[in-house]
Amino acid sequence: MNLKNLSVESDKIELNGYSITCYSINTLIIGSGAAALNAAVTLHKLGQEDVLIATSLLGGGTSNNAGSDKQTYYKLSLSGMEPDSVADMAKDLFSGHCMHGDIALCEAQGSVQAFMNLVSLGVKFPHDKYGAWAGYRTDHDSRGRATSVGPYTSRKMFEVFSKEAKRLKIRVLDYHHCIKLLTDLSGQKVVGALAINTTEKDYKKAFVLFNSTNVILGTGGPAGLYETSVYPHSQNGSIGMALSAGATAQNLTESQFGIASVKFRWNLSGSYQQAMPRYISTDQNLGDEKEFLNDFFPDIRTLAKAIFLKGYQWPFDPRKIKDYGSSLIDILVEREINEKGRLVFLDYRRNPSFGINDSFSLKELDPEAENFLLNSNALNNSPIERLHSLNEPAVNLFLEHGIDLEKEYLQIAVCAQHNNGGLKANIWWESDLKHLFPVGEVNGSHGVYRPGGSALNSGQVGSYRAALFVYNKYNREPSILKEFLSEVGESVKSTLNISDKWMRTEVVENNKTQLKEIRIRMSESAGIIRDKIKIEKAVHQAEEQLKSLTDRLRASSVNDLAGTFQILDNCIAHLVYLKTIRYYINKGGRSRGSYIVTGTGTKTDPELCQYDRDIEKEIIEAVIREGEISITSNKVRDIPEQDLWFEKVWKEYNEDIFTDC
């Protein structure tokens, strides 16, 4: 779908020996995922056509490149006999802890509109001949609100928005890597951004300025921060850019981890586990094969149940370790790889085995697993046959990426998959840094436990609300260019000076070393095991790395230069993440969400968070002010009580509902 570089008017300015292209627009949208594109399309349809999308790689983000066995979209239930309501959905989202109640209400209230918008654009969510949108249960979901169009739900969303954006002739600048958000002299409001056009050969001509009334930031989660990750290679994230500009972040402690394939990065949830494959490990030379889970489970029935439950209990959850729960598998996989130095695989060709006298049998399965396979017509003899019956596209997906599950093992690890935290924003998705609207995963609205697929709903609801607010409250032209340059000129010059330093210095060190250091530190210290002593050490190492980073980075091309700024962004971000995790642990925070806290006096089972300590029930916020990272915790806002008397709502709507909350 070619959206690239539709006709865009620009100016040229000379600054510090650089020839800089400058665009002036009402709204700059950074990123090109489903949330960013929805914001662009919504603004255009509302009547604000002065919109420009800048993206480092069109289609390079999570929306177009990530999924699972049947990637879930979470919405209000719209069929069947089981009752559901906006209030119930809001309560379920809110009950996941550390999520503001007014945000939960907005996401629930906007769910049906967002879902039906996707349907109208052409996403083929399944329904029966009567028009009933069937649902199923997902992670942390008791209502069966989930739906899917298969492994590539978010890709289908990206595709329909791309098509619509092209139809509306929305302007897109591809290969434009945004490296800096620009603020006014007060530092309280975003007024634009600075980017690098990576198609330009001469770095003196590669910089691009955006003078904008608003910035909608839709660049996804912190994809570049972890070594063991299921984020697509093409995505990096840019939360460090927003933090550096003064935007507040929240809930950065709350990342989600789960078992995923590593050769081709993909979540192994749902039917990939419900088919009950064999878990094995080998040494680094693929020898000494062992079904390592057997040492920790009492019998094959208990083991098979845990593997099966891992399907819809996919994210690692410390509450599901005891009594041979499904998350014990994650711990054992992590231990096998990181403590024993072995490789771990799933084998779909053979059933799990447990010794001569305790073999796998479909007749001896736990009733929940047996009933599921029976109702799905998947009581086949081998895992690969069961997977074919449960979800043929899930098998074909790996074939498309050169992996034949009928012939080879599938290498796995416990990978970073989603950040439930991100930037703080109000009910219109506006940051406390005014005129900045973080949408999608970069918005930290999700709390500790989120139902699987609710992030897609949040991205759609949030980007619509951001566009609605921009159109109704910030629908004005940007500053004239001269005024804009008077406010941002010094900030831009400082960035150009760094660029000169990196480009004019002989390349003596591999930037990849610096990036790998960040990623290994995060995977070792901020993964599913978070040790108090290790976190303290990691914070100090991150501080030291950041102090010397600009002196150690180098670039020999425009592409290198963009990548070098990305490393700086990641370094800033990972320091803020690590300091936030340290703050939580030092204040007495315990195991919760998708991680275990150790090194705090507990010796055996993890001490689970009971939400009886302030640090556990409050939202942790982090912000950079004058170069210093400040971390605080604040009370969660409850779900608002609504007065829905129609005449009152009608009056308020006609007056002004777009209040700054």
- Determine the 3-state secondary structure of 209 from DSSP: strand
Q: In this predicted structure, what is the pLDDT of residue 353? A: 93
Cβ count within 10 A of residue 196: 27
Cβ count within 10 A of residue 541: 16
User: Considering the chain, what percentage of its residues have pLDDT values greater than 90?
Assistant: 89
Q: Which helix (H) or strand (E) holds 649?
A: helix 646-655
DSSP class of residue 151 equals: T
Least confident span in 65-69, 206-210, 429-433: 65-69
Q: In this predicted structure, what is the pLDDT of residue 603? A: 53
* Dihedral of alpha carbons 602, 608, 614, 619, sign: positive
Q: Which of 257, 338, 354 is nearest to 296 (CA)?
A: 354
Give residue 138's pLDDT band: very low, low, confident or very high (50, 70, 90). Answer: confident
Per-residue tokens: 135: 């649902």
Measure the CA–CA gap between 640 and 650, rounded to whole angstroms. Answer: 18
C-beta separation of 217 from 244 below 8 A: no
Measure the CA–CA gap between 130 and 121, rounded to whole angstroms. Answer: 20
Q: Which residue has the tokens 């790395």?
A: 545
Q: In this predicted structure, what is the pLDDT of residue 359? A: 87
* Dihedral of alpha carbons 384, 385, 391, 397, sign: positive
- Mean pLDDT confidence for 364-379: 94
Domain 509-633, CATH: 1.20.58.100
Q: In this predicted structure, what is the pLDDT of residue 541? A: 98
The amino acid present at 592, given as its one-letter code, is: R
Give residue 323's pLDDT band: very low, low, confident or very high (50, 70, 90). Answer: very high
Give residue 5's pLDDT band: very low, low, confident or very high (50, 70, 90). Answer: very low
Give residue 141's pLDDT band: very low, low, confident or very high (50, 70, 90). Answer: confident
Give residue 2's pLDDT band: very low, low, confident or very high (50, 70, 90). Answer: very low
CA dihedral 544, 550, 556, 557 (to 10 degrees): 110
Q: Which helix (H) or strand (E) holds 182?
A: strand 176-183
Give the helix ranges, DSSP H, for 250-376.
Answer: 271-274, 300-309, 327-338, 367-375
Per-residue tokens: 269: 């949830």
C-beta separation of 535 from 586 below 8 A: no
* Dihedral of alpha carbons 196, 198, 202, 208, sign: negative
pLDDT tens string 619-652? 999 999 999 999 999 999 999 999 999 999 999 9
**Rg, C-alpha atoms of the chain:** 25
Q: In this predicted structure, what is the pLDDT of residue 285? A: 97
Region of residue 47 (left: phi > 0; alpha: psi -120 to 50; beta: else): left
- Locate the domains of the chain by residue range: 257-417, 509-633
Measure the CA–CA gap between 504 and 535, rounded to whole angstroms. Answer: 36
- Mean pLDDT confidence for 240-261: 97
Per-residue tokens: 553: 């980075």
Measure the CA–CA gap between 117 and 375, rounded to whole angstroms. Answer: 32
pLDDT tens string 79-121? 988 889 999 999 999 999 999 999 999 999 999 999 999 999 9
Q: Please list, in sequence order, all residues whose beta carbon lies within 8 angstroms of the beta carbon of residue 207, skipping any fewer than 6 positions away.
A: 18, 20, 21, 194, 195, 196, 197, 496, 499
pLDDT tens string 546-574? 999 999 999 999 999 999 999 999 999 99
Provide the terminal-to-terminal Cα distance of the chain, rounded to the nearest Å: 38
Q: How far is CA 628 from the centre of its chain?
A: 26
For the chain, the residue count is: 661
The average confidence (pLDDT) of the chain is: 94
Q: Please list, in sequence order, all residues whose beta carbon lies within 8 angstroms of the beta carbon of residue 161, skipping any fewer than 6 positions away.
A: 34, 37, 38, 41, 121
- pTM, full prediction: 0.95
Query: Which residues, listed in sequence order, are joined to residue 596 by a DSSP beta bridge?
Result: 529
Q: Please list, in sequence order, all residues whose beta carbon lies within 8 angstroms of the beta carbon of residue 477, skipping any fewer than 6 positions away.
A: 24, 26, 50, 213
Q: In this predicted structure, what is the pLDDT of residue 508? A: 60
Q: In this predicted structure, what is the pLDDT of residue 396? A: 94
Q: Please list, in sequence order, all residues whose beta carbon lies within 8 angstroms of the beta carbon of residue 238, skipping any fewer than 6 positions away.
A: 30, 178, 217, 219, 442, 566, 569
Measure the CA–CA gap between 251 and 618, rounded to whole angstroms. Answer: 9
Give residue 249's pLDDT band: very low, low, confident or very high (50, 70, 90). Answer: very high
Q: Which of 454, 444, 440 is nearest to 89 (CA)?
A: 454
pLDDT tens string 17-60? 999 999 999 999 999 999 999 999 999 999 999 999 999 999 99
Distances from the Cα of 284 to the Cα of 288, 342, 629, angstroms = 9, 6, 41
Measure the CA–CA gap between 100 and 421, rounded to whole angstroms. Answer: 12
C-beta separation of 198 from 9 below 8 A: no
Q: In this predicted structure, what is the pLDDT of residue 602? A: 53
Q: Which helix (H) or strand (E) holds 485?
A: helix 481-504
C-beta separation of 244 from 238 below 8 A: no
C-beta separation of 324 from 334 below 8 A: no
Q: In this predicted structure, what is the pLDDT of residue 1? A: 42
Is residue 361 exposed (0-12), middle (13-18) or buried (19+ Cβ within 10 Å)?
Answer: exposed
Measure the CA–CA gap between 403 and 120, rounded to whole angstroms. Answer: 35
Per-residue tokens: 416: 């970073």
Q: Please list, in sequence order, all residues whose beta carbon lies within 8 angstroms of the beta carbon of residue 429, skipping any fewer than 6 positions away.
A: 437, 438, 439, 443, 462, 463, 465, 466, 469
Measure the CA–CA gap between 386 and 3, rounded to whole angstroms. Answer: 41
pLDDT tens string 453-474? 999 999 999 999 999 999 999 9
pLDDT tens string 413-458? 999 999 999 999 999 999 999 999 999 999 999 999 999 899 999 9
Measure the CA–CA gap between 304 and 298, rounded to whole angstroms. Answer: 11
C-beta separation of 621 from 424 below 8 A: yes
Q: Which helix (H) or strand (E) holds 250?
A: strand 249-250
Give the helix ranges, DSSP H, for 74-134.
Answer: 86-94, 101-109, 111-121
3-state helix, strand, coil in the chain (%, to 5): 40, 20, 40
